Chain A
Amino acid sequence: IAGITQAPTSQILAAGRRMTLRCTQDMRHNAMYWYRQDLGLGLRLIHYSNTAGTTGKGEVPDGYSVSRANTDDFPLTLASAVPSQTSVYFCASSWTGGTNEQFFGPGTRLTVL
């Protein structure tokens, strides 16, 4: 099935634990993104990758890391989770150039206690 998937759907995590959110797309898009969505703040970019092997920092990168070993996968890691990282996380992908439309995954609801 073409599209973008995320795992897990939701997670409750103790503060200080390490967590990796997974994102996979099969549209062969070169660019991928991670956003967090918090009430009243909209969607804020955490990290992005314009092509496999490269990554960049977005608006709110602190406390998060990413890797892009191949075109399809773009995992987001919280090395030591804190309660302020409680949020809904969306992964997205797009072509750069052309239509620029970003396609979003279904989201991961993360609660850090």
Chain B
Amino acid sequence: GENVEQHPSTLSVQEGDSAVIKCTYSDSASNYFPWYKQELGKRPQLIIDIRSNVGEKKDQRIAVTLNKTAKHFSLHITETQPEDSAVYFCAASNSNGANNLFFGTGTRLTVIP
């Protein structure tokens, strides 16, 4: 089955700096890679996703890159703000198969004002 690894487990940045979270996956059939943000005590919520036919996707201060050859994808947050503080999860799935998401173990991001 799919195995998703995520690094780092914790990340602290100064407000205004950039944050990068990296994930690797094992199954070359995976073709959908979402990122979820989970604030303390809340449910995970999708913030951005990318499909295997695209190398990069941006949405305001958030971008995701995908390297299919190396089987890794990354989340980039620029101009970080205190409200970006949360746990971020990457995930991978094969939308042509069972569509189940396999999650990384999460990164706790703290943005220091």
Q: Is the CB–CB distance between B100 and A33 below 8 Å?
A: yes
- CB of B73 within 8 A of chain A? no
Binding-face segment, B12-20, B53-61, B102-110: B102-110
> Chain A: residues with CB nearer than 8 A to chain B?
31, 33, 35, 40-45, 48, 50, 56, 58-59, 90, 94, 96-97, 99-102, 104-107
Contacts A40-B9, A105-B43, A106-B42 given; 14 further ones with Cβ under 8 A? A33-B100, A35-B103, A42-B105, A45-B100, A45-B101, A48-B98, A58-B100, A59-B102, A96-B99, A100-B32, A100-B49, A100-B93, A102-B46, A104-B44
> Chain B: residues with CB nearer than 8 A to chain A?
1, 6, 9, 32, 34, 42-46, 49, 89, 93, 95, 98-106
- Given the interface contacts A100-B32, A100-B93, does A43 sit within 8 Å of B44 by beta carbon? yes
List 10 contacting pairs A-B, 8 Å CB cutoff, sorted by A.
A31-B99, A33-B100, A40-B105, A42-B89, A42-B105, A50-B98, A50-B99, A104-B44, A106-B42, A107-B43
